[in-house]
A and B are shown apart, each in its own frame.
Chain A
C-alpha cells in the first residue's frame, strides 16, 4: 500500500532553515510527482510546489520562489522540502502529497504532516 512517512516536528528560530523529508513506499517513487502543501494553525491549505522525482525538475509557487528548495534521493525513495529564512508566519504543518497518476494535481495520498514552529 502507498505510504508517505514524514520526518518529525521541528522548532526553528527566525532566519534559520528547515528541511522536511517524505519517505515513500508501496509504489515506484519516480513514477509520480511529489507535491508539498502547508497549513498554518487554524488556516487553510496552501500549495508550495512540486518535484518530478524522475528528473528532479521543480515548479514552485511564486510566493516561495527563492526560499524553497525541493529535492529527492531516488536511492531511498525520499523527497525533501527545505525552506530558508524562516519567519514566524512560516509556522505550519507541512504535508507531502501524491496524485493518482504522474500528472495528477489532486492528491489521493498524503503524508502525516510535519509541524514546523518558528519562534525566537
Chain B
C-alpha cells in the first residue's frame, strides 16, 4: 500500500499570500496518478487536480499541481477567502487507492 504523507499539517497564511502544500509518497506513484481535493466543513471533497497537474473543470487557475514519482506539490498562487479549507492528496495508480492525512490552510 502506498502511504501518502502531507506537510505541513497546518498552514497559517493571509489572503493574497501563496500557499505551497506537499505530498510525499512511500513509493513511486505510477503514471503520476495523483489527485488533489479541497474539503470544507460539512461538505464532500471537491476535485481540484488530477494526473498531478491537470485542473478539474471549473477550477480557477490560481490552483496548480506539479511533481512526479514520490514528490508532489499543490500551489495556490494567491489565497482567496474561499480557499481556506483542508486539502488532501490521493494516489490512484495502485490499489488500494490511498489519501494523505490532509493539510489545513487557515487564516493567519
Contact = CB atoms under 8 A, between A and B. Distances in A.
Name which of A100, A105, A106, A112 has the most chain B CB atoms within 10 A of its CB.
Answer: A106
Nearest to A35: B97
Given A44-B102, A106-B90, A95 B44 contact: yes
A108 interface: yes
Interface residue tally of chain A, by bracket?
20 to 34
Interface in A48-62: 49, 59, 61-62
A108 B56 contact: yes
A47 B45 contact: no
A47 B24 CA distance: 18
Interface residues of B, number: 22
Contact of B44 (A35, A104, A113): A113
Interface string A60-97: 01110000000000000000000000000000000101
27 contacts: A44-B88, A44-B101, A44-B102, A45-B45, A45-B88, A45-B90, A45-B102, A47-B90, A47-B97, A49-B96, A95-B45, A97-B44, A100-B50, A104-B92, A105-B35, A105-B90, A105-B92, A105-B93, A105-B97, A106-B33, A106-B35, A107-B37, A107-B45, A108-B56, A108-B57, A112-B44, A113-B44
